[in-house]
Amino acid sequence: MSTSTANCAVLTDAQPADLEKLWTMETGTEEFHGPSAVERKMVNDRVVEQFEKDIRFSEEGYVIKLPWKTDGTKEELPDNRGIAVKRLHAILKKYKDNDWVMSKYQEIIEDQLQKGVIEDVDPNIPPTSEVVHYLSHHPVITPAKQTTKLRVVYDGSAHHVGKPSLNNALHQGPTILPNLVGQLLRFRFGKNSRCRESISPSGD
């Protein structure tokens, strides 16, 4: 174990509320327009309360509605069909000569279709749902893994220029992970910093 000293000097006239607002913007929690942690808690409490009201159990398992925001973003959400089709063509072009990827991809899609995770869309039948949105997807390939060497990831952040994504239209909900910004600031503002590195028995 080794120790070292890190010195940090900060010159600023910003007030705590201004700094908190900046950190809120930097961490991407755009649904909170004020710096107050109270406002953040109020929104999260409403989301959790609505979640508990909407959740129900069926033969297939638990069913829950999407936590839509009420700021009008839902109404502005485009269908993203063009983006989804373009992404699909790019995937087919990239992996058309890779039989393993194409076979595994098809296997995953068929499994999700059977389980009701996704649904088949007939292009000849106009949609009747209140909100219509096509999710783009792409493969994540990890050959080194013993089990899941390929998984299909759906992109809720895809969007047209100037239009919201699906993620923008949904409440993020409370963060259950430690605040990384806060951890870094506490590390830097301390008089002394101590670091420790763990080494596995194999030496990796």
Task: Quote the pLDDT of residue 27.
Answer: 47
107-to-130, 143, 156, 163 alpha-carbon distances in Å: 30, 17, 22, 33
Q: Where are the domains of the chain?
A: 38-67, 78-119+132-166
Task: Quote the pLDDT of residue 51.
Answer: 86
Dihedral over Cα of 181, 186, 191, 193: its sign: negative
pLDDT in tens, the chain (204 residues): 556 666 555 555 555 555 555 554 444 444 445 556 777 788 888 888 888 888 898 887 888 888 899 888 899 999 999 999 999 999 999 999 999 999 999 999 999 999 888 999 888 888 888 889 999 999 999 998 888 899 999 999 999 999 999 999 998 877 666 677 777 887 787 777 777 665 444 344
- Kindly state the tokens that stand for 124: 């000849």
Residue 138 near residue 121 (C-beta atoms within 8 A)? no
Q: What is the DSSP string of 28-55?
A: T-TT--SS-HHHHHHHHHHHHHHHHHH-
> What is the pTM assigned to this prediction?
0.62
